[in-house]
Amino acid sequence: MSEADLHAFVAMARRRRAVRHFKPDPVDPAVLAEALEAARWAPSGYNLQPTHFVVVKKRARREALRRACLNQAQVTEAPICVVFVGDRQVVANHFEQVLAADREASAISPEYERLLRRVVPMAFNTGPLGLGRLLKAVAAPLLRLFVPVPSLPAVECKAWLARQAALCAMNFMLAASAAGLATCPMEGFDERRVRRVLQLPRSMVPLIVVPLGFAAGDGAGKTRLPPSQLIHHDRWR
Ligand SMILES: Cc1cc2nc3c(=O)[nH]c(=O)nc-3n(C[C@H](O)[C@H](O)[C@H](O)COP(=O)(O)O)c2cc1C
Q: Are 139 and 44 members of one domain?
A: no
Distance, CA 216 to ligand 1 centroid (Å)? 17
pLDDT of residue 130: 86
Q: Are 172 and 74 members of one domain?
A: yes
- Separation CA 108–CA 120 (nearest Å): 15
Q: Are 111 and 164 members of one domain?
A: no
Distance, CA 185 to ligand 1 centroid (Å)? 5
pLDDT of residue 2: 92
Q: Are 95 and 210 members of one domain?
A: no
* Nearest protein CA to atom 1 of ligand 1, as residue: 187
In a domain, 54, yes or no: yes
Angle at 11 between CA 43 and CA 29, to 5 degrees: 60
Q: Which amino acid is at 60?
A: A
List pLDDT tens digits, range 19-59.
999 999 999 999 999 999 999 999 999 999 999 999 999 99
Q: Are 190 and 74 members of one domain?
A: yes
Distance, CA 210 to ligand 1 centroid (Å)? 10
Radius of gyration of the chain (CA): 20
Q: Are 187 and 103 members of one domain?
A: no
In a domain, 13, yes or no: no
pLDDT of residue 162: 98
Question: Mapping DSSP to helix (H, G, I), strand (E, B) and coil, where does residue 201 land?
Answer: coil
Sites in the chain below the pLDDT cut of 70? 218-219
Distance, CA 175 to ligand 1 centroid (Å)? 17
15 lines ligand 1 (CB under 6 A): no
| Containing structural domain, residue 40 | 18-86+157-220
In sign, the C-alpha dihedral spanning 153, 236, 233, 174 is positive
Helix (H) or strand (E) holding 165: helix 157-178
Q: Are 79 and 162 members of one domain?
A: yes
Look at the chain and report how many structural domains it folds into. 2
Whether pTM > 0.85 for this model: the answer is yes
pLDDT of residue 78: 98
In a domain, 50, yes or no: yes
Distances, alpha carbon 113 to alpha carbons 87, 89, 93, 219, 225, in Å = 22, 20, 17, 46, 42
Q: Are 130 and 71 members of one domain?
A: no
DSSP state of 220: T
165 lines ligand 1 (CB under 6 A): no
Atom of ligand 1 nearest to the CA of 74: 11
Q: Are 101 and 194 members of one domain?
A: no
pLDDT of residue 219: 67
Q: Are 162 and 134 members of one domain?
A: no
In a domain, 152, yes or no: no
pLDDT of residue 106: 96
- Separation CA 173–CA 185 (nearest Å): 8
pLDDT of residue 124: 93
Atom of ligand 1 nearest to the CA of 166: 1
pLDDT of residue 57: 98
Domain with residue 169: its CATH number is 3.40.109.10
Distance, CA 237 to ligand 1 centroid (Å)? 29
